[in-house]
């Protein structure tokens, strides 16, 4: 395992973890969600590494161990462009290995937006509980008079997962953001509107996953995204009874296996 600081174009230093071996069959790049960090995907990374897949992970700007204004965002394109720079770096380091993106929640928006803005650059894209539409209409809960630089409490913890131990771990994790800037929410909603207007440019093979009982991002978001995108190779799976963080649910190994099987069929 290698840890590095990666400078993107505007000088922001992103924390990146490289767990790729010379004989890794392909690479999975994991993109985390709002207020969390790449370390919450240790279990998924271990599962893939044990099956001879390399894993890259990074913390979004303003999240985890990365630099940047904490849990704030000036433009949703920064998420997509940061990811693009990391993708290009990985491809330069491992030009012969296929690369798959896996994004959860805000990370799901990021990989979906990446595929939309930068098509035909990776071998496949996997989303989990992704913010690709806004059927929950969460934006309506943020009064228009609130300034962008105001912070709101992160009250998401109790409904992230049906496993209460995961909820407690999230609450006690020092790297999980306890407050979120209004700017981050608003820029994400800007991004969702843009994503909805441009489904025809998303052509990557995609596996779209969602918990049926997700109360943070409704599973209809993923159903709508699946129906709209132009991908010829696309699959949608809605898991009964699960909440938002399907990769942390008690049946997580079954879901990891679903992801593994999907990638295995697409590695050349």
135-171 pLDDT, tens digit per residue, is 999 899 899 999 999 999 999 899 999 999 999 999 9
The predicted model scores a pTM of 0.98
Work out the burial of residue 13: count CB atoms within 10 Å of its CB; fewer than 13 is exposed, 13-18 middle, 19 or more buried.
Answer: middle
Domains defined along the chain, listed by start: 2-264 (3.40.50.1820)
Residue 96: count of CB within 10 angstroms of its CB: 5
Q: pLDDT digit string (tens) for 167-208?
A: 999 999 999 999 999 999 999 999 999 999 999 999 999 999
Q: pLDDT digit string (tens) for 73-110?
A: 999 999 999 999 999 999 999 999 999 999 999 999 99
Q: Are 37 and 17 in contact (CB under 8 A)?
A: no
Q: pLDDT digit string (tens) for 200-231?
A: 999 999 999 999 999 999 999 999 999 999 99
The token pair at 5 is 């600081």
Distance, in Å, from the CA atom of 13 to the CA atom of 141, rounded to the nearest integer, reads 32
Distance, in Å, from the CA atom of 220 to the CA atom of 134, rounded to the nearest integer, reads 9
Distance, in Å, from the CA atom of 49 to the CA atom of 134, rounded to the nearest integer, reads 34
């Amino acid at each position: 395992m290698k840890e590095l600081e990666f400078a993107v174009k505007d000088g922001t230093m992103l924390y990146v973890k490289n767990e790729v071996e010379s004989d890794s069959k392909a690479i999975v790049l994991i993109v985390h969600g709002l207020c969390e960090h790449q370390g919450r995907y240790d279990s998924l990374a271990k599962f893939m590494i044990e099956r001879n897949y390399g894993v890259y992970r990074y913390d979004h700007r303003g999240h985890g161990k990365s630099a940047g204004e904490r849990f704030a965002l000036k433009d949703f394109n920064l998420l997509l462009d940061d990811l693009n720079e990391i993708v290009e770096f990985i491809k330069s380091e491992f030009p012969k290995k296929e690369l798959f993106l896996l994004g959860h929640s805000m990370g799901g928006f990021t990989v979906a937006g990446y595929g939309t803005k930068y098509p035909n650059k990776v071998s496949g894209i996997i989303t989990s509980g992704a913010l690709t539409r806004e059927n929950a209409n969460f934006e309506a809960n943020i009064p228009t008079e609130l300034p962008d630089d105001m912070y709101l409490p992160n009250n998401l913890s109790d409904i992230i997962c049906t496993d209460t131990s995961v909820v407690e771990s999230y609450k006690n994790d020092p790297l999980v953001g306890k407050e979120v800037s209004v700017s981050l929410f608003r820029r994400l909603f800007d991004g969702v509107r843009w994503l909805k207007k441009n489904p025809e440019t998303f052509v990557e093979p995609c596996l779209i996953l969602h918990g049926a009982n997700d109360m943070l991002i409704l599973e209809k978001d993923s159903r709508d995204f699946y129906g709209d995108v132009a991908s010829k190779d696309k699959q949608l799976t809605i898991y009964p009874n699960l909440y938002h963080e399907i990769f942390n649910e008690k049946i997580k190994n079954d879901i990891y296996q679903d992801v593994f099987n999907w990638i295995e069929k697409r590695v050349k």
